[in-house]
Amino acid sequence: MTCCKQQDESSSAAEEYWNTAAWHSGGVVCWEGIMLLVRAFLPARSLAAAGLWCRQKHTLPDLPYDYGALEPTINAEIMQLHHSKHHQTYVNNLNVAEEKLAEAKEKGDVSTIISLAPALKFNGGGHINHSIFWQNLSPDGGEPEGELLAAINRDFGSVENMKNQLSAQTVAVQGSGWGWLGYNKQKGTLQSCYVSKPGSS
Ligand SMILES: [Fe+2]
């Protein structure tokens, strides 16, 4: 769940993660169109054994601006650390967890597959959350306007109320919680939500 223009990025990041998480490592370059067709008819294990199944590694997305672009609010050093170290660590650990998952699947090692769930969730969640986060920052700042502003006023009463509600939810979370303003498609309303840790929801 994300706000405004970032919905596409977030869904594609989530889709990429879950698609990739389900893939096996075959050690060959795959041709996506053929693979989709082949995947529909053959079990993953057979494909992996035949070397026809591949898994893409996750990579750290480039920032759409310079590290110093958000100064003086956030300095370049913090941005560099957060992006090149913090986010990179989630990406690395997600790749490691997925490699272990692929190996465990190969061996039919169910207990290892189950034990990897927290690492996949934590690091996959951290990767997706950060990827959305970078896209939502702007050196220009500004306030919500147009349709977004109207929806915030309708669903929260005011921008101030929305900020207060989101802050209250996230500040109460132990550790590094994340809060999001998202659009609930079923209800057709904006909604705030939070997660206690990057991969916990
Ligand atoms: Fe972070």
Region 188-201 average pLDDT: 72
The total number of residues shown for the chain amounts to 201
> Mean pLDDT lowest for which of 6-10, 47-51, 129-133?
6-10
**Distance from Cα 25 to the centre of ligand 1, integer Å:** 29
Q: What pLDDT, in 10s, does the model give residues 111-145?
A: 999 999 999 988 998 898 899 889 988 888 788 99
**Distance from Cα 20 to the centre of ligand 1, integer Å:** 22
**Distance from Cα 134 to the centre of ligand 1, integer Å:** 10
Residue 164: the pLDDT is: 93
Instruction: Count CB-CB contacts under 10 A for residue 67.
Output: 18
Q: Is the pLDDT of residue 25 over 50?
A: no
Instruction: Count CB-CB contacts under 10 A for residue 64.
Output: 10
Looking at the DSSP bridge assignments, the partners of residue 192 are: 181
**Distance from Cα 141 to the centre of ligand 1, integer Å:** 20
Q: What letter does residue 158 receive in the DSSP assignment? A: S
CA 176/CA 197 separation, integer angstroms: 6
Instruction: Count CB-CB contacts under 10 A for residue 50.
Output: 12
**Distance from Cα 43 to the centre of ligand 1, integer Å:** 37
Q: Indicate if the alpha-carbon torsion angle 110, 111, 112, 114 is positive or negative.
A: positive
**Distance from Cα 177 to the centre of ligand 1, integer Å:** 10
Q: What pLDDT, in 10s, does the model give residues 164-189?
A: 999 888 887 765 677 889 999 999 99
Higher-confidence position of 135 and 21: 135
pLDDT band at 41 (very low <50, low <70, confident <90, very high): very low
**Distance from Cα 10 to the centre of ligand 1, integer Å:** 16
Looking at the DSSP bridge assignments, the partners of residue 181 are: 192
**Distance from Cα 86 to the centre of ligand 1, integer Å:** 6
**Distance from Cα 127 to the centre of ligand 1, integer Å:** 9
Region 5-9 average pLDDT: 34
CA 93/CA 129 separation, integer angstroms: 15
Q: What letter does residue 131 receive in the DSSP assignment? A: H
**Distance from Cα 130 to the centre of ligand 1, integer Å:** 6
> Mean pLDDT lowest for which of 8-22, 85-99, 123-137, 167-181?
8-22
Looking at the DSSP bridge assignments, the partners of residue 179 are: 194
**Distance from Cα 184 to the centre of ligand 1, integer Å:** 25
Residue 52: the pLDDT is: 45
Q: Measured at the alpha carbon of residue 19, what is the angle toward residues 96 and 91, in degrees to the nearest 5?
A: 30
pLDDT band at 197 (very low <50, low <70, confident <90, very high): low
Q: Could you tell me which residues come within 8 angstroms of residue 165 by beta carbon, excluding any fewer than 6 positions away?
A: 156, 192
